Amino acid sequence: MAASRLELNLVRLLSRCEAMAAEKRDPDEWRLEKYVGALEDMLQALKVHASKPASEVINEYSWKVDFLKGMLQAEKLTTSSEKALANQFLAPGRVPTTARERVPATKTVHLQSRARYTSEMRSELLGTDSAEPEMDLRKRTGVAGSQPVSEKQSAAELDLVLQRHQNLQEKLAEEMLGLARSLKTNTLAAQSVIKKDNQTLSHSLKMADQNLEKLKTESERLEQHTQKSVNWLLWAMLIIVCFIFISMILFIRIMPKLK
């Protein structure tokens, strides 16, 4: 099925955003963020479009847009370690955006940003300022002239520090995954308990309805029985009253004759 005009515009803008993300940008650059916002709006419109592409293609677009959005959010963090950690959780696209690309542009941007953040972390650990490389180089030369230090030892110490930092990040990621698994397990257990409680509650409600029906039936039977007992008692009292009345009349008739 041929791509719609909306999808073609989205692909063009996405390719432009990937090219801008791969370039070195000024801190005050605002166009890329606006373009990514427009990409989100176009992606939402494409999802409900009449001639929308397959779900795999839409998912690929979503991954790339989310990657660009996450990259912009990572650039706004304060320290390079936070940027590097946020960069590790970004997932670039798996398919090239255009036919001219051999490797997805987002994957290239991901590698570039990782290398840049690693370089910034190295500069922070060494106490250097990337904005003034020449002055820093002079300072290093002067220090090296007064206090000679082995370059291999410095490189080994730097690698050790970076390795410890990398291990710390991996440990943090493993802990986050463990917390996610624990949360999932607890959620499933809670769902199971809630499901059992719902079944028990449904059974209790069913038993309550049955008992209510039985209670209504027994109440009706008791009412009928009570009415029957009252009727028999009423008839018995009437018979006794009539018997006493007749007995009194007979007694009155018989008593004068005895006198």
Identify whether the C-beta of residue 140 lies closer than 8 Å to the C-beta of residue 132. no
Q: Which helix (H) or strand (E) holds 114?
A: helix 105-126
- Regions of the chain short of the pLDDT cut 70: 1-3, 126-159, 227-231, 256-259
Q: Is residue 227 part of a domain?
A: no
Q: Is residue 174 part of a domain?
A: no
Q: How far out from the chain centre does Cα 193 lie?
A: 21
Number of domains in the chain: 1
Residue 121: count other Cβ atoms within 10 Å of its Cβ: 19
Cα-Cα-Cα-Cα dihedral sign, residues 16, 21, 22, 28: positive
User: What pLDDT, on a 0 to 100 scale, did the predictor assign at position 194?
Assistant: 93
Q: Is residue 218 part of a domain?
A: no
Residue closest to 15 by CA, chosen among 85, 115, 96, 127: 96
Cα-Cα-Cα-Cα dihedral sign, residues 40, 77, 139, 126: negative
User: What pLDDT, on a 0 to 100 scale, did the predictor assign at position 144?
Assistant: 43
* Token code pair at residue 228: 């029957």
User: What pLDDT, on a 0 to 100 scale, did the predictor assign at position 154?
Assistant: 59
Identify whether the C-beta of residue 39 lies closer than 8 Å to the C-beta of residue 13. yes
User: What pLDDT, on a 0 to 100 scale, did the predictor assign at position 140?
Assistant: 44
What angle in degrees, to the nearest 10, is found between the helix axes of 55-75 and 80-88? 170
Identify whether the C-beta of residue 92 lies closer than 8 Å to the C-beta of residue 111. no
Q: Is residue 133 part of a domain?
A: no
Identify whether the C-beta of residue 33 lies closer than 8 Å to the C-beta of residue 119. no
Q: Is residue 7 part of a domain?
A: yes
Q: Is residue 68 part of a domain?
A: yes
* Token code pair at residue 75: 């650039």
Question: How many Å apart are CA 159 and CA 126, to the nearest integer?
Answer: 12
User: What pLDDT, on a 0 to 100 scale, did the predictor assign at position 103?
Assistant: 76
Q: Is residue 89 part of a domain?
A: no
Predicted TM-score of the model (pTM): 0.46
- Produce one character per residue of 28-45: b if its CB has 16 or more CB atoms within 10 Å, e if not: eeeebbebbeebeebbee
Q: Is residue 111 part of a domain?
A: no
pLDDT tens, residue by residue, 154-194: 566 666 777 777 778 788 888 888 888 889 989 999 999 99
pLDDT tens, residue by residue, 52-67: 778 888 888 888 888 8
Structural domain span for residue 53: 1-76
